[in-house]
Amino acid sequence: MTAHEGDHSDQEAEKVSGVEDSASEAEKAESNSSSSDYRQKYEKMRAHSRTWETRAEKSLEEVKHLTAQLDSLKDENGKLEETVEALRSQLSEATSQLAEATRHHDLTTRIADLGGNIGQLFDSKRFCKAVDELDLDADDADSTLKTLIKQHSTATAPSSSLTWEQPGQGISKGEELWNRRKARRGA
C-alpha cells in the first residue's frame, strides 16, 4: 500500500465515518424530533382525554342530580295523586250533601207552603220515611205531600188563642213566679 493509497483509504474511512456520524446524528435528531413530536402528541391526546373525562364526570353528576329530582317528582306526583283522589272523594261527598240539602230545602219550602208544621212533621219517623220515598218532581207530588201532612199532623191550637205579654201589662206570670220564690227564700 502506498502512502497515497493509505491517505485515500483514510479519507474514505473518514467519509464513511462522517456519513455514519451524520446518519447517526440525523437518526438522533429524527428520534429527538420524533420523540418530541411523540411527546407533544401524547400530551395533546392526554389533555384531550382529560377534557372528555371531565365532561363525563360532569355529565354523571348531572345525571345523578336529575335522577334525584325525578325521584322526588315521582314521590310528589304520588302524593299529588293521593291528594287528588282524596279531593275527588270529598267533592263527590260534598256534591251528594248539596243535592240532599237542596232536596230538603225544596221539601221544607213545599211543606210550609202547604201549611204543615215543619218541626212537628220532621219529628215523625214515618213521615220522614214516606217523604224520602216521594219523588218531588212528579206531577202529583203536591197532592201526595198534602195527604202525608194531614196523616202525620196533630191538632194544634191556632195561633190566635195564644196570649202574649205586653210591656206595662201588669205583673206577668214570670214576675209572679219570681216574687213567690223570693218570698220563700226570705229575701
Grid cell for residue 150: 194531614
pLDDT, average across residues 157-174? 61
Eight-class DSSP state of 184: H
Tell me, yes or no, whether 173 lies in a domain: no
Question: What is the number of other CB atoms lying within 10 angstroms of the CB of residue 111?
Answer: 20
| Count of domains observed in the chain | 1
Tell me, yes or no, whether 14 lies in a domain: no
- Rounded Cα gap, residues 176 and 167, in angstroms: 15
Q: pLDDT-based confidence at 120, cuts 50/70/90?
A: confident
Q: Are 133 and 105 in contact (CB under 8 A)?
A: no
For the chain, what percent of residues have pLDDT higher than 70?
71
Strand extents, DSSP E, 83-144: none
- In which domain, by residue range, is 66 found? 22-150
Eight-class DSSP state of 161: G
Tell me, yes or no, whether 58 lies in a domain: yes
Tell me, yes or no, whether 183 lies in a domain: no
Q: pLDDT-based confidence at 158, cuts 50/70/90?
A: low
Tell me, yes or no, whether 11 lies in a domain: no
Question: What is the number of other CB atoms lying within 10 angstroms of the CB of residue 131?
Answer: 22
pLDDT, average across residues 29-54? 82
Instruction: Give the pLDDT confidence of 90-102 residue by residue, as tens digits.
Output: 999 999 999 999 9
Tell me, yes or no, whether 66 lies in a domain: yes
Tell me, yes or no, whether 127 lies in a domain: yes
Tell me, yes or no, whether 55 lies in a domain: yes
